Amino acid sequence: MFKVISNRIIAPGIRRIEILAPRIAKKAKAGQFVVIRVDEKGERIPLTLVDWDSERGSITLVFQEVGVTTRKLGRVREGGYVLDVTGPLGNPTEIKRYGVIVGVGGGVGNACLLPVMREFKRAGNYIVSMIGARTCELLILEDELREVSDELYIATDDGSRGYKGFVTDLLKKYLEEKVPDLVYAVGPTIMMKVVSSITRPYGVRTIVSLNPIMVDGTGMCGACRVIVNGKLRFACIDGPEFDGHKVDFDSLINRIRMYKREEELALSFLEKRGGEDHGV
């Protein structure tokens, strides 16, 4: 049982939760994730470690309430409990001095971008962050990202903040003028696909942090398999980061959709069961 210290809305449909998990807080590194299971009947889902505090013994996650598990997690109140939190999982980002790094984030991916850019900055890199969201309200962690970035660019689909259009357009324009030493992208799979196709002609090393469906998160099921360089790799133990130029994004996009119908069914089932709260 893992105690929830705080759980609050930071944008419509997006929450930031702090959970007591001392052994994970001590070990966490940028680029890693945890697997959580909210309650006895719950599914195991992966969420990225956005922040951690080894002294407090806590970890912070940012999640979008899209389906059953994230809704359930959203309902756990301060002082309540999450049944299982396992981690830190996945390989940490290889932090070293590349030179100029462009970080591209989209949606909740902006939260995942934060710890990685923070560490890159500490390692002496020049950080250019590009963050995007559908609309200005959904733009999360802007201040925190600004703090770790030398330059920060914003794009919203509706133009309510910054550039009107996709964050990938910003990257395209940037590349027309300058070629960075590394591009790091995290967000919707389609965004990472576009990022990789934009950088390919420039030959810029591009790292993407993939988010396939996972079950155990420890290499035991193969649900998270993706094709990288023509071979099956398990995102939970071989990744989650891969060379974006070698990832078969189309099959990944297809796999993420596999349970669409079931997910809708589960959600309506949850809603019918009503608003039972957890762990209070």
In Å, how far from its chain's centre is CA 236?
A: 13
Q: Which stretch binds ligand FES (CB under 6 A): 20-28, 146-154, 161-169, 218-226?
A: 218-226
Say which residue the tokens 């810029």 belong to.
204
Q: Give the nearer residue to ligand FES in terms of CB position, either 12 or 219.
A: 219
Integer Cα distance of 47 and 32 in angstroms: 9
Identified binder of another protein from the candidate list 17, 61, 226, 235, rule CB under 8 A: 226
Q: Does 31 bind ligand FES (CB under 6 A)?
A: no
Q: Which does 153 bind (CB under 5 to 8 A by kind): ligand FAD, another protein, ligand FES, none?
A: none
DSSP state of 202: G
Total binding residues toward ligand FAD, as defined by CB under 6 A: 27
Under 8 Å between Cβ of 61 and 140: no
Cα–Cα distance between 5 and 204 in angstroms, integer?
41
Would you count residue 263 as binding ligand FAD (CB under 6 A)? yes
Identify the H or E element spanning 19. Answer: strand 14-20
Q: How far is CA 81 from CA 18, 21, 44, 73, 129, in A?
A: 11, 11, 15, 10, 35
Where does this chain touch ligand FES (CB under 6 A) — which range of 52-60, 145-153, 209-217, 269-277? 209-217
- Residue type at position 205: R
Binding ligand FES (rule: CB under 6 A), the pick from 10, 123, 220, 258 is 220
Binding status of residue 136 toward another protein by CB under 8 A: no
Give the residue with the Cβ less far from another protein, 25 or 131: 25
Phi and psi at residue 37, to the nearest 5°: -135, 120
Q: Which of 95, 215, 227, 256 binds ligand FES (CB under 6 A)?
A: 215
**Per-residue contact string for residues 159-178; x = within reach of ligand FAD by CB under 6 A:** --------------------
**In the 8-state DSSP scheme, what is residue 160?**
S
User: Judged by CB, which is closer to ligand FAD: 69, or 196?
Assistant: 69
x-or-dash string of contact with ligand FAD, 212-231, rule CB under 6 A: xxx-----------------
Looking at beta carbons only, is 45 or 182 nearer to ligand FAD?
Answer: 45
Nearest residue to 140 (alpha-carbon basis) of 78, 187, 179: 187
- Residue ranges of alpha helices (H) inside the chain are 22-27, 68-75, 109-122, 142-148, 167-177, 189-199, 235-238, 249-256, 260-273
**What angle (nearest 5°) sits at the alpha carbon of residue 163, between those of residues 111 and 244?**
50
Residue ranges in 70-89 that form contacts with another protein under rule CB under 8 A: 83-89
**Interface of this chain with ligand FES, residues 230 to 259, rule: CB under 6 A:** 234, 236
Q: Which residues form the interface with ligand FES (CB under 6 A)?
A: 214-217, 219-224, 234, 236
